[in-house]
Amino acid sequence: MEVSVQQHLLPAIVVLVMCTIGMELRWEQFQALIRAPRTPIIGTLIHTLTFPMLAMLLVVALQTMDIAVSDSTVIGMLLIAACPSGGFSNVLALIARVNLPLSVTLTLVSSLLSFATVPLLIGGFGFLIADLDQPVQIPVIATLLQLCVLILLPIGAGMAIRRWQKAFVESHLARMQNLGQLVLYICVVLLIVENWSVMVAGVVDALPWSILLCGANILTCYYLAKWSGFVLEDRITLALEGSIRNIAVALLIAATVMQRMDIAVLPTVYFLAVLIVALLFAKTWRLLFKA
């Protein structure tokens, strides 16, 4: 059986990284969010609405100014905007050393709400793009399994390991996280190599707009969080969370529901934009303010 970086290696590495994220967390941190739900509630609203609105404004601007962009790129941007948050936002929150419990909470809530938000958003985008004017249903079982296997279970395992082996975790956590991030970066390089033909096909047309969309979401979410009275670390958390979407869900909808593999290029290209913009943003924040 041929081993695929995207299907086999990347999920295994994400599980390991999520486990180290769990080792950073304590149940008391989530209890604090439950007792003061203002931040996660407002954060969920900002996260859910900002990306779709910015994507829609970008598409309208491109159409109004008659800028030559392929239909697959335009539809792909709207499709990405309709999807829930992805677990990579938690990895970025770990790298930036910001509010991990808030990041995990927003990811989980976004994923749970996706069964309603994705069809509604795609239906709304159908007024702009005829190809999106079709019924879309999220694969509930597959998405819940992904949520459990890639996020909930490894984070829970990490929290349990910290509770039972606190001294060991505190002594070795930094090294485990650095190793996990290094392996993740290597995996990303292999992923780009594996999908090079797909990347090349969409990079010239889609990458500049993907970078613009990612950067605009980071800035907009940051300032909306600031105007909402969030503390600085929570603003950075929401900025990172708001720029990430679940690439797997986008690929699944493009390939199986829409049956448009040309649209499936955009999620892969957008992930490259995230690596360029959001990862740089996270590492710069940590370098300047968390060293």
Tell me the three-class secondary structure of the chain, residue by residue. Answer: CCCCHHHHHHHHHHHHHHHHHHHHCCHHHHHHHHHCCHHHHHHHHHHHHHHHHHHHHHHHHHHHCCCCCCHHHHHHHHHHHHCCCCCHHHHHHHHHCCCHHHHHHHHHHHHHHHHHHHHHHHHHHCCCCHHHCCCCCCCHHHHHHHHHHHHHHHHHHHHHHHHHCHHHHHHHHHHHHHHHHHHHHHHHHHHHHHCHHHHHHHHHHHHHHHHHHHHHHHHHHHHHHHHCCCCHHHHHHHHHHHHCCCHHHHHHHHHHHCCCCCCCHHHHHHHHHHHHCHHHHHHHHHHHHHC
Give the chain's residues under pLDDT 50: 133-134, 136
Give the pLDDT of residue 115: 74
Indicate the number of domains in the chain. 1
- Write the CATH number for 25: 1.20.1530.20
pLDDT at 4: 64
The residue segments making up the domain with residue 170 are 5-282
- pLDDT tens across 275-288, in order? 889 888 998 888 88
Asked if the structure places residue 171 within a domain, the reply is yes
Establish if 123 belongs to a structural domain: yes
Q: What is the pLDDT of residue 202?
A: 66
Look at residue 287 and tell me if it is in a domain.
no
What per-residue confidence (pLDDT) applies to 130? 57
